[in-house]
Amino acid sequence: MAEQNKTNVLRVIVMTVVVVVVAPFLPMIISGQWDWWEAWGYALASILSFVLSRAIVARVHPDLIRERARFMEAKDTKPWDKILAPLLGIGSILVLLVVGLDRSYGWSSPFSLIVNILALTGIVIGYAFSSWALVANRFFSGTVRIQTERGHHVVTGGPYRLIRHPGYAGGLLGYVLIPILLDSLWAFLPAGLLAAVMVARTALEDRT
């Protein structure tokens, strides 16, 4: 048991480093362009939303932090989500990889400054909405499963009063706007696939 706990902690640390430290900077790492203000804006928005939301959740729902740390470990995770959940993670990385390559090789023409600013504003709003959903829903697990042992029930407060799946809605807004903020038409390809996976996951979750 102790060995398993150590393995879980190490896995969570590695995943956190990848998500928080490495992924947001992929466009700049790949392109080698560190004077790219749009990419810095995206990285800061991504990191701040992650850190602040998890800090609040750790205070109000510490059991949710433990639940999310068990990503893909729960035996009662829906079989289809064992495929879709990893695809979401891979897809988000692919979007940033394509953005970096596009910047390196100049495949796409840049959008106007006002369009970039509007896209960044939309991303911040999307991330804030998703973070609000995470804080409001103590059952916001990393995978789709009925958390019987935690007294799982449908949450109707916070952003859930406005929309059925605020977490997905905020994330979807962010994914769609990343290619615009970072001037990459090619990134719409993985972003579109990512959006399709998210919509499919939402539909399947509604049937659970």
Q: What secondary structure does DSSP assign to 55-86, as a single string?
A: HHHHHH-HHHHHHHHTTTT-TTS-TTHHHHHH
Higher pLDDT, 152 or 32: 32
Residues 6+ apart with CB under 8 A from 167: 130, 133, 134, 137, 140
Q: Cβ distance 77 to 145 under 8 Å?
A: yes
Tell me what pLDDT residue 156 has: 83
Tell me what pLDDT residue 143 has: 79
What is the pLDDT of the chain when averaged over all its residues? 88
Please say if the pLDDT value at position 32 is more than 70.
Answer: yes
Please say if the pLDDT value at position 4 is more than 90.
Answer: no
Q: How confident is the model at residue 112 (pLDDT cuts 50, 70, 90)?
A: very high
Can you tell me the distance from the alpha carbon of 124 to that of 170, in angstroms, rounded to the nearest whole number?
Answer: 9
Higher pLDDT, 162 or 74: 162
Higher pLDDT, 26 or 5: 26
Q: Where are the beta strands (DSSP E) in 4-43?
A: none
Give me the amino acid identity at 189.
Answer: L
Nearest alpha carbon to residue 87 among 195, 191, 194, 171: 194
Tell me what pLDDT residue 11 has: 64
pLDDT in tens, 58-102: 899 888 887 777 766 677 788 898 899 889 989 999 999 999 999
Q: Cβ distance 108 to 185 under 8 Å?
A: yes
- Burial of 6-19, coded b for 16+ CB within 10 Å and e otherwise, reads eeeeeebeeeeeeb
Please say if the pLDDT value at position 115 is more than 90.
Answer: yes
What DSSP string describes 154-171? ---SGGGGT-S-HHHHHH
Span 120-131, mean pLDDT? 97
- 2-206: which CATH topology? Four Helix Bundle (Hemerythrin (Met), subunit A) (1.20.120)
Give me the amino acid identity at 97.
Answer: L
Higher pLDDT, 205 or 141: 205
Span 11-35, mean pLDDT? 85
Give me the amino acid identity at 100.
Answer: G
Can you tell me the distance from the alpha carbon of 191 to that of 195, in angstroms, rounded to the nearest whole number?
Answer: 6
Question: What is the CB neighbour count within 10 angstroms for residue 196?
Answer: 12
Tell me what pLDDT residue 6 has: 53
Tell me what pLDDT residue 130 has: 95
Q: How confident is the model at residue 189 (pLDDT cuts 50, 70, 90)?
A: very high
Tell me what pLDDT residue 142 has: 79
Please say if the pLDDT value at position 111 is more than 90.
Answer: yes
Can you tell me the distance from the alpha carbon of 170 to that of 129, in angstroms, rounded to the nearest whole number?
Answer: 5
Question: What is the CB neighbour count within 10 angstroms for residue 129?
Answer: 21
C-alpha to C-alpha distances, 34 to 65, 98, 108, nearest whole angstrom: 33, 17, 18
Please say if the pLDDT value at position 55 is more than 80.
Answer: yes
